Structure 1
Amino acid sequence: MKINKNSVKTTTMIGLTALAITSCASSNKVQKDNVVVKPDNIQNMEDMDNSYLILSDEQLSAVNKGNTFALNLFRTQAGMDSKVVSPLSVAYLMGMLANGAEGNTQTEIMKTLGMNDVSLETLNEAYKAIINTASTLDKQTTVNIANCIAVNQQISIKDKYKQAMSQTYNAQVESMNFAGDALKRINNWCDKQTNGMIPSIINQLNPNAIAVIMNAIYFNGTWDKKFDKNDTKKEPFKGYTRDIKRVDMMHQNAKFDFVEQEDFSAINLPYGNGTYNMTVILPHNGKSTTEIMEKLNAEKLSELNNKMEKCIVDLKLPRFSTSTETQLNKPISNLGAPSMFISSQADFSKISDTPMFISSMLQKAKIEVSEEGTKAAAVTAGVMMMSAFPSEQPRRVEFHADHPFVYLITERHTGAIFFIGQYTGDNL
């Protein structure tokens, strides 16, 4: 079966492990029409659940466009330090916000996600399909996608929005005491959904906050070809500033999908039955990851996978762990959605009649790569505050002094009248 490798699993993996130090994608293959995802390198068909991920052309297009957002988001985090972000987690949060937004606020969110020509209904259906099937595609790999909306018990959110989030995003919608135990309950939810990798998302909660909207993603995959711990040795690693570090370098010789390009080489490392995999992109000497990522887009990422061939690879890969906390207000604003962070411009009237805006959007993410496989988790949260009520416009009145009037000259602070008089139209 000829398959397009830029599948929904590409999005999932980009959201989880793709953007750790290098970029990740999937070599999964997909039919053109009603897309049935069946990886071409499955070792044991019994490991594949009977529930395959089926997307319409429109839904698949929406998912693929999410890869553009993923790469754009990662480019906002360019630098010389190790980092990991989950664009898919951010996308789920923004999808929930788009459902509650109206007017320009909704338009900006959809455009930033790359969905300006995609209906909200199509986006919701695609995201729902991923939630419902991601955990069933590989019995050897654990994938959990969860959403939660914690609402201040003093605020009422609209039933239509609540139902939509519950039915489409499987979101847990709970009323909480923001002046009481809400902070503990919110962080406990993060800890549970990420299997302890992200024990908390926020350190304090304003009792006047309206809501905290969250997405959590957890991934635990075992390599199809595990590394032997006995082959892991301390070896040099050249940093950005030409400094030489000593890292735990894993090593194996095995058959992998591999491609050599002008500026870099890339390899696909499958997990479990091959449904999920990590793609490692290694710049050639003299090239930086920033340079590579500036040129990489969703289309080229798909082409990259199509160009790969089976090779016997002498593979060395560091064993590493990376944790990142990312403030998202500025990056998301710069990518095209600033109004939701501005009190006077945000329009989330589909959520509640109480005017609100996003005061803080942040993500905590962590990845652990070892001889056994990869664990990765992320929680993205948007804290919503009440917008200032727009000030009333002054009344429009007339004052035509075209008949006699009295006037006073006074001292402002004391009110003392220095002069008082009247004018009736005559002059000296």
Structure 2
Amino acid sequence: MKNLMVWGLLAMMLASCGTTQNKQNINTDINAKIEATKPLDNMDNEYLILSDAQQSIVDRGNQFALNLFRTQAGMDSKVVSPLSVSFLMAMLANGADSTTKDEILSTVAGDKSLSVAELNDTYAAFLRMAANGDKLTTINIANYIALNKGFKLKSTYAGTVGSKYAANVENLDFASPKALKHINQWCSDKTCRMIPSIIDCLNPSDVAVLLNAIYFNGSWTHQFPKKNTRLENFQGYTRDIKKVDMMHQERKFFYADNSRFAAVELPYGNGQYSMTVLLPNEGVSINDMMKQLTAGEFAKLQQQMSECIVDLKLPRFSTTTNVSLNAPLSALGAKTMFTSSADFSGMADAGVFVSAMLQKAKIEVSEEGTKAAAVTAGVIALTALHEQPRHVKFHAKRPFVYTINEKNSNAILFIGQFTGEEE
């Protein structure tokens, strides 16, 4: 369960750092000090518990989260939502077959033999948890498919994404500016205006846009007193010194450390959601830390944390990231869906492929808590439109032959040649 809470926010957690600590041996349970929320009305708690198979999918989803984050290596601040990508990839998996489906499943779930039905049940369970979990924390997940007029999804596919992913399917005229405005308005509405738009333009030849939006708004269980925030030095990636607004508090948090990094867990609301901050030790870079971090180690870290009195400093920050996912996902193994060889025969009768997948994400961390949002979009186009035109030269500087043809029958009406001489 704890891994599931971390999954959707993992990349957001990894984007933040900066803590000092004073570890002591304290065995009391911090959760006992957190006031429990009112029990859910008419909701069976067993309904919100994952099966072993579903938990296994979540665990492997955490590995995908780490793999995806590693593709974004660089010196700038960034945030991505691997859960948002996984939701979109799962919807694509329902329409995929053969190699395309195998690659999608291997990339997001680590197992090409995984049943798509099991994948669907896991995401449906996560949607239930998001809607009925911590009443002190807001997490909204929405899925949407915009179809160009005249393009139809197979009924089985539309039914599955509707029932398992609560995806609204809508027909729009992609040639009209209203379609672009409508899609971007959906993004803005579902993220409380944190992501005001996702697509800059629509190609009238595109046939569909698949979208997932995630919005998170959580107040710290233990907020940072604003009076403690000071402008302090922060050593940048290249050891340059920057000035940041540093928040500060000292209290009991779950904490762990090892030879590579220290970690502290900051709960939101009643504790169902939390931020885990991983701070590399002196002399260890983020890249060095992430190269060795696996989903198994991360899960073990969560279990090994003990309650300590932590002298905690954390920057107040805001980060926005806009990333194309074609290359990262291809590098992670899901490459066929971006090519003319893509098989989405379960989605539509026409040959289609994913022409572009992109994500916009934003996170705001303050004394009160965290707001974060992400929208992932997959643009679907007809396979025939995928091949990129070759760059060639055609300089008719020597004799040539020409014909005049009727297009439908290809009948030659005229044929001739030109050798440079004119009548």
Asked whether 1:44 is paired with 2:39, we answer no
**Structure 2 counterparts to residues 45-194 of structure 1, below 5 A:** 45-47=36-38, 49=40, 51=43, 52=45, 53-113=48-108, 114-180=110-176, 181-194=178-191
Asked whether 1:9 is paired with 2:5, we answer yes
Find the residue that maps to 2:333 and give its secondary structure: coil
| TM-score computed with the length of structure 1 as normaliser | 0.84
How many percent of aligned residue pairs carry the same amino acid?
Answer: 52
The answer to whether the 8 A contact 2:6-2:275 is kept is no
CA–CA separation in structure 2 for the residues paired with 1:48 and 1:203? 44
**Structure 2 counterparts to residues 272-291 of structure 1, below 5 A:** 272-291=269-288
The answer to whether the 8 A contact 1:47-1:140 is kept is no
Please give the per-residue CA displacement for 1:227-268, whole angstroms capped at 9, x wherever unaligned.
011110000000011110000000001100011211111100
The answer to whether the 8 A contact 1:255-1:311 is kept is yes
CA, structure 1 residues 412+173, in 2 after alignment: closer, same or farther (shift >3 Å)? closer
Corresponding residue of 2:301: 304
The answer to whether the 8 A contact 2:134-2:270 is kept is yes
CA, structure 1 residues 298+386, in 2 after alignment: closer, same or farther (shift >3 Å)? same
Please give the per-residue CA displacement for 1:329-387, whole angstroms capped at 9, x wherever unaligned.
000001001111012x0111111111111111000000000000000000000001111
The answer to whether the 8 A contact 1:220-1:376 is kept is yes
Corresponding residue of 2:406: none
The answer to whether the 8 A contact 1:62-1:118 is kept is no
Please give the per-residue CA displacement for 1:137-177, whole angstroms capped at 9, x wherever unaligned.
11110000100000011211111111111000000111111
CA–CA separation in structure 2 for the residues paired with 1:82 and 1:362? 18
CA–CA separation in structure 2 for the residues paired with 1:177 and 1:141? 37
Deviates more, 1:52-61 or 1:166-175: 52-61
The answer to whether the 8 A contact 1:49-1:139 is kept is no
The answer to whether the 8 A contact 1:22-1:289 is kept is no
CA, structure 1 residues 21+327, in 2 after alignment: closer, same or farther (shift >3 Å)? farther
CA, structure 1 residues 107+411, in 2 after alignment: closer, same or farther (shift >3 Å)? closer
| TM-score computed with the length of structure 2 as normaliser | 0.85
Q: 2:369 aligns with which of 358, 373, 379?
A: 373
CA, structure 1 residues 266+210, in 2 after alignment: closer, same or farther (shift >3 Å)? same
Find the residue that maps to 2:206 and give its secondary structure: coil
Q: 1:199 aligns with which of 193, 196, 203?
A: 196
Find the residue that maps to 2:180 and give its secondary structure: helix
CA–CA separation in structure 1 for the residues paired with 2:199 and 2:68? 22
Q: Give the C-alpha shift of residue 48 in structure 1.
A: 5.3
CA–CA separation in structure 2 for the residues paired with 1:390 and 1:134? 37
Corresponding residue of 1:334: 331
The answer to whether the 8 A contact 1:109-1:337 is kept is yes
Deviates more, 1:115-124 or 1:171-180: 115-124
Q: Give the C-alpha shift of residue 182 in structure 1.
A: 1.1
Corresponding residue of 2:394: none
Q: How many residue pairs align between the two structures?
A: 377
Find the residue that maps to 2:348 and give its secondary structure: coil
CA–CA separation in structure 2 for the residues paired with 1:373 and 1:367? 11
Paired residue type of 1:80: M
Deviates more, 1:220-229 or 1:130-139: 130-139
Runs of 4 or more above 4 Å deviation: 39-42, 410-416
Looking at both structures, which has the greater relative contact order when contacts are Cα pairs under 8 Å and sequence separation is at least 6?
2
5+ long unaligned stretches in structure 2:
19-29, 388-398, 403-414, 418-423
CA, structure 1 residues 389+382, in 2 after alignment: closer, same or farther (shift >3 Å)? closer
5+ long unaligned stretches in structure 1:
24-38, 392-409, 417-428
Corresponding residue of 1:317: 314
Q: Give the C-alpha shift of residue 42 in structure 1.
A: 7.0
The answer to whether the 8 A contact 2:263-2:278 is kept is yes
Q: 1:246 aligns with which of 222, 235, 243?
A: 243
Q: Which has more radius of gyration? A: 1
The answer to whether the 8 A contact 1:19-1:83 is kept is no
